[in-house]
Structure 1
Amino acid sequence: MTTSLSHAAPIVQIGMSAPDFTLQATPDQKISLSELRGTPVVIAFYPADWSPVCGDELGLFNAALSSIHRLRAQLVGISVDSAWSHAAFASQRKLHFPLLADFEPKGEVARRYGVYRVAEGVAERALFVLDANGVVRWAYVSPITVNPGVDGILDALEQLNSSTKQDAQ
């Protein structure tokens, strides 16, 4: 992956430790990436709640959640919307994974991952698969108007599980 001129920082690369963060999951609860260590984590950055492509993308991830969990992974979504917007959006779409608010300072986490669109003030549509130690093992930035689907995530998690099993033998 390369850095686009619209990004504030280089995109986090495969093999790098994922930058830690602590973000609002609900108006009164925070989640830190470091708390999720010990299992693989899928981070799905997306531009905004309530947009048609984002709704379809997150709905697809929600439908694949049992497969993601079967592969012993956790999924979190991140956008610059507020925890209140996330709560309403997740309720309306019946989402069963945390949506984290990269709200204030706006886009700080997306900037650290190199996926903040400065001109628009939103995150890219970007996916990161982290291993149990928080190392990026797969990453993909989709065109902002295109739903990337879930196949890449599932393939990356299956490869991660295969290599973990081989390492254990």
Structure 2
Amino acid sequence: MLQKGDTAPDFTLNATPEKTVTLSALKGKNVILAFYPADWSPVCSDQMALYNEMLQYFEKYNAVLLGISVDGAWCHHAFAMARQLHFDLLADFEPKGEVSKLYGVYETTGVSRRALFVIDANGIIQWSYLSPINENPGADGILNALENIKN
């Protein structure tokens, strides 16, 4: 798993069937990557709902939140609509888990591990955390990492 000080690998993933997000296009902003196993699972649902409620706090730190799992764009769309999420969920679907593998968080069972990365405005990882798959990691670590970034 990538650690503090590593350069965040660039990627382009679908947020919807018609929209892609490229990490390098967000240069100048802090970025939170929240890798998670699957849409609709109870822990993932709780985690993404919490982050949705925290968006205003993340924005105070010039931060953009991106959720990433190996589910497809249509699945993400349905999940985001049902949960009323206001941030992009990116489909690491084809080739399956390619971005998760770049960040060292792809599980041999075919899902992303539950991992968080805070990337500064220059594309350097400032904090990373691997959570047990059945535990919501919360937002405290993200907020602490954002507070420690000197922009």
Find the counterpart in structure 1 of residue 44 from structure 2: 54
Q: Which letter does structure 2 place at the counterpart of 1:50? A: W
Find the counterpart in structure 2 of residue 157 from structure 1: 146
SS of the residue corresponding to residue 117 of structure 1 reads coil
**RMSD of the TM alignment (CA)?**
0.6
- Report Cα offsets for 1:144-164 as digits up to 9, x if no partner: 00000001001110111xx33
Sequence identity of aligned pairs in percent?
59
Q: Which letter does structure 2 place at the counterpart of 1:29? A: K
Alignment partner of 1:121 is 2:90 = no
**Which 5+ residue runs of structure 1 have no aligned equivalent?**
1-10, 165-169
Q: d(CA) in 1 for partners of 2:76 and 2:20?
A: 13
* Equivalent residues in 2 for 1:10-159, closer than 5 Å: 11-118=1-108, 120-159=109-148
SS of the residue corresponding to residue 26 of structure 1 reads coil
State the Cα distance separating 1:123 from its structure 2 match: 0.3
Q: d(CA) in 2 for partners of 1:82 and 1:34?
A: 22
- Report Cα offsets for 1:41-74 as digits up to 9, x if no partner: 0000000000000000000000000000011110
Q: TM-score, normalised by structure 1?
A: 0.88
Q: Which letter does structure 1 place at the counterpart of 2:145? A: A
- Report Cα offsets for 1:49-104 as digits up to 9, x if no partner: 00000000000000000000011110000000000000000000000000000000
Q: Which letter does structure 1 place at the counterpart of 2:83? A: R
State the Cα distance separating 1:13 from its structure 2 match: 1.5
SS of the residue corresponding to residue 147 of structure 1 reads coil
State the Cα distance separating 1:115 from its structure 2 match: 0.1
SS of the residue corresponding to residue 92 of structure 1 reads helix
* Number of aligned residues: 151
- Report Cα offsets for 1:96-152 as digits up to 9, x if no partner: 00000000000000001000001x100000000000011000000000000000010
